Amino acid sequence: MHIEISTFGYIGNSVIKQITLKNDNDVSVKITNYGGIITAIKAPDSADNIDNIVCGFDDLDTYLSEEYLGNYPYFGAIIGRNANRIKDGIAEIEGKIYQLAQNDGNNHLHGGNTGFDKRIWNYRIIEHEENIGLELSYLSLDFEENYPGNLQVFCLYTLNNKNELGIEFTAKTDRTTIVNLTNHTYFNLTGRKTNILSHELKLNSSGLTETDQNHIPTGKIIPIKNTPYDFSDFKLFDSTKDILPMGYDNNFIIKGERGILRYAGTLREINSGRVVEIHTTQPGLQVYTGYWIPEMCVAGQKLFGKYSGVALETQHFPDAIHQKHFPSTILKPDEKYYSKTVYTIGKKS
């Protein structure tokens, strides 16, 4: 296993780095300290052809371009302070109302106008006998995006020779605030040769949070057995295309005790033979099949577009601040936020 560090681009006087973690099985993960973005995950298929299996770019300028940000899909980024949506951008914390950015219609999405996905993170290389890694840290100041409290955040990416990509988040605050952190990587196990409708998903879930037309939870938990949302066994995304023409953008409730690392689901693609298995401590998994991913022209080539990747975002439930029976996203000064997700990257033999 080894680590490489290179210059990815510049923001003003800041030099943005890209760190590559590579194990002994030809699996590598590229991460930049701008937004903590996973720009690439390269892995072999069943014929040992190595491809990038996530949506991302080879240079920083494309991530900063108006074309990309104009219909922003958050490729590979750390999302915070609060992943997913908050109704009307309003959060009541200890009796005080905070008006957050309404950057998704009337609602607040993924931390606001300048969330953690657009911040420059400090970085530190981690090397152990059993794994290699990258620790990112960021101090989100009191009232950044109008969230209360100085929030110190750490994100630890690790890779080992079991092909396990670990993502661990830790956070502490000096004032009561809300925290819901995730990573927004989009997978395409064909190496982006085709869209993700050929992919199959299996989930350790029997229910999801019902939402309105704006993806805001109603508060109801909906059973999914024998519905198009039933992933108790592998289901091909293409099989529900006619029933759900805009695909999936839903928060599935993961079975088992939250806070304990447990099986959440498996994504696989038959033609490539690639498989990604997910374990998490989080209570939910947002499945988004990328209907709104923009088609872009990059270096004269048309790339991406709808269904070009599927995001599997482990997190707390959306709009939890307004649903007292949802797992709480409140973080107090005497508490520590912690979550861990492991994506195991494999292939059928």
The single residue of 145, 200, 277, 313 carrying the catalytic annotation is 313
> Exposed (0-12), middle (13-18) or buried (19+): which is 156, by Cβ within 10 Å?
middle
The single residue of 108, 184, 199, 316 carrying the catalytic annotation is 184
313 is catalytic: yes
Omega cis (within 30) before 81: yes
Residue 137 to residue 190: CA distance in whole angstroms: 33
184 is catalytic: yes
Asked whether the CA dihedral 71, 39, 337, 223 is positive or negative, the reply is positive
Q: What single-letter amino acid sits at 248?
A: Y
Long-range contacts, stretch 256-262, CB < 8 angstroms, 24+ apart: 256/204, 258/282, 258/283, 258/327, 261/340, 261/342, 262/204
Strand partners, 221: 209
Residue 67 to residue 64: CA distance in whole angstroms: 9
> Exposed (0-12), middle (13-18) or buried (19+): which is 141, by Cβ within 10 Å?
exposed
Question: Apex CA 196: angle with CA 191 and CA 198, to 5°?
Answer: 100
Residue from 279, 292, 338, 344 nearest 156 by CA: 338
Catalytic residues: 184, 313
